[in-house]
Amino acid sequence: MAIVEVSDLRKDYGDKRAVDDVSFDVEEGEIFGILGPNGAGKTTTVECVEGLRRPDGGSVRVAGYDPAVDRHSVTRILGAQLQESELQPKITVREALELYAACYPDPADWRALTERLELTEKLSTRFAKLSGGQKQRLSIALALVGRPRIVVLDELTTGLDPRARRDTWGLIKDVRDSGVTVLLVTHFMEEAQRLCDRIALIDKGRITALDTPSGLIGRTANGTAISFTPSAPLETQLLADLPSVASVTHQDGRIVVNGTDETVHAVLSLLAGRGINAHQLRVTEATLDDAYLNLTGPDA
């Protein structure tokens, strides 16, 4: 069942159209990713979902409510971590959580949230003294303190080091496992591939693809590459004639064959039949990076 419904969404800033007829549904209980380059319209789209911006066309519904009209109802079921948000430098973690909890009639137990997000030992620490990862965990806690049914996380891991980013990924999975739907905005391919159940790829204000990560990867023309150095001369045409081969190239004495999983088996069978060994054999699967480059424009 869809908890977020976006239909033909349009948003203009003067003469610039930032969001152009964007449509998607977010199913309850999933991590739904919005992926795209900077300036693609990702943040504007979710700000319309959050009720922070009023659309110039189309419609948005969150659990049946219009965020632009029923703001009070939406804020009771939606939590948000904004792309750019800061707290007062001297406010402590405890004070921030108590302040946000006071805004809701039935807030979550913020003490349990701090335990779950490993912030208990930082309750007396001022916001300015927190590390980047600790600030992000606090952002998640503040977004969850109102017991939301859906939480919007906008580029949550930008600026984090690799370890802090991976720790945050684990927290996002925990949030979803607790029953909260997650709308995740990111421009990190690996993040989207690891976390999201489905992804809407936005480029220049429009959705260019909407699918599961594996579905998007499957659209990549050259899904699998097999590269090797043959132990004996091998005619390129023999490889080009094999099933599902998209291309055959030579790179520094190595042969690179692009195709599918079927191609890998065909290449290995051909080599075995001719008594040729494949030295330094490598098989590389396509990633979301490949799908992104394949599905977006050259300037993305």
**pLDDT band at 77, cuts 50/70/90?**
very high
Secondary structure (DSSP) of 231-289? SS---HHHHHTSTT--EEEEETTEEEEEE-HHHHHHHHHHHHHTT--EEEEEEEE--HH
Contact 185, 153 (CB under 8 A): yes
**pLDDT band at 220, cuts 50/70/90?**
low
* pLDDT for position 297: 58
299 or 170: which leads in pLDDT: 170
Rounded to an integer, what distance in angstroms lies between the CA atom of residue 211 and that of residue 65?
25
pLDDT tens track for 143-182:
999 999 999 998 888 777 888 788 888 888 988 998 999 9
**CB neighbours of residue 169 within 10 Å:** 17
Residue 299 has pLDDT above 70, yes or no: no
* pLDDT for position 91: 96
List, in order, residues 6 or more apart from 163 with CB less than 8 Å away. Answer: none
Contact 5, 22 (CB under 8 A): no
* pLDDT for position 159: 74
CATH class entry, domain 219-296: alpha beta
Can you give the residue ranges of every domain in the chain? 2-211, 219-296
2-211 belongs to CATH 3.40.640.10: no
Residue 100 has pLDDT above 70, yes or no: yes
The helix, strand and coil proportions of the chain, stated in percent and rounded to the nearest 5, come to 35, 30, 35
**pLDDT band at 5, cuts 50/70/90?**
very high
Q: Are domains 2-211 and 219-296 of this chain identical in fold? A: no
Residue 242 has pLDDT above 60, yes or no: yes
pLDDT tens track for 264-276:
899 999 999 999 9
* pLDDT for position 225: 84
Average pLDDT of the segment spanning 220-246: 86
Contact 205, 17 (CB under 8 A): yes
β strands within 91-186, DSSP E: 150-154, 181-186
* pLDDT for position 222: 61
287 or 67: which leads in pLDDT: 67
